[in-house]
Amino acid sequence: MNKPQPVVNEVNAPFWNALSEQRIVLQTCGGCRKTVFYPRVCCPYCQSDSLEWGEVSGHGRVVSHTTIHRPHHPGFDDEVPYVFGAIELTEGALIYGQILDAPITDVSLLGQAVEPVFQPSGQGQTLLAFRLAETR
């Protein structure tokens, strides 16, 4: 079963294209210097349209997490249970992704350091996932 895919367009193409090259690029506002995610046409903090793409580390910390037992799409049925989290990147953006190799228990991962993993979706589009930094 195919998984749901993002729609790549003129606004977000740099983000998705970079992931396929195993790089993470996010927008930074030339006006207020804030990091912006998801990709926008203008800065949601100051409404300037001088957004610049720049590479970030993809390192961050776990803001919250859940173990998915019942996925939202049949494309994930064979992968449950898996851990999914909200990650605050060191550069300041909040981004969602699976936390690979995390324990499937009620153990709290809040605040734990994570690093990026480039996860092939099986259909061409590389997705951003994470793993606990300590597991390396």
Partner 1 sequence: MGAIFEGVRIVGAGQAPYSKRSGDSVQRLLYKAASAALQDAGLTWRAVDGLAVTSFQLPPDNVAVVAEHFGIEARFLFQGVYGGASGIIGMAHAARAIRDGACDVVVCASADAFDVASHNQTLDHFNASVRDYMSPTGFGGANGMFALHTRLYMDQYGATREDFGRFCISLRENALVNPNALFKKPLSMSDYLNARPIADPLRLYDCVMPCVGGDAIVLVSEKLAKTLPGPSLKILAAEELHNYPANTVYGMPGGWEGFADRLYRNAACGPADLDFAQVYDDYPIMSFIQLEGLQLCKPGEGARFVKEKDITIRGGFPVNTGGGQLSAGQAGASGGMIGVVEGVSQLLGRAGARQIRCTRGVVSGYGMVAYGRGLSSSAAILERA
Q: Computed from CA positions of residues 32, 36, 42, 47, in that sequence, does the dihedral angle turn out positive or negative?
A: negative
User: Residues 36, 11: contact at Cβ < 8 Å?
Assistant: no
User: Residues 36, 44: contact at Cβ < 8 Å?
Assistant: yes
Q: Does 125 bind partner 1 (CB under 8 A)?
A: yes
Q: Which of 17, 20, 22, 44 is the binder for partner 1 (CB under 8 A)?
A: 44
Q: Which of 108, 113, 120, 135 is the binder for partner 1 (CB under 8 A)?
A: 108
Q: Computed from CA positions of residues 90, 92, 97, 99, in that sequence, does the dihedral angle turn out positive or negative?
A: positive
Q: Does 79 bind partner 1 (CB under 8 A)?
A: yes
Residues found near partner 1 in the complex (CB under 8 A): 3-7, 12, 38, 44-45, 63-73, 76, 79, 81-82, 84-86, 94-98, 106, 108, 110, 121, 125, 127-129
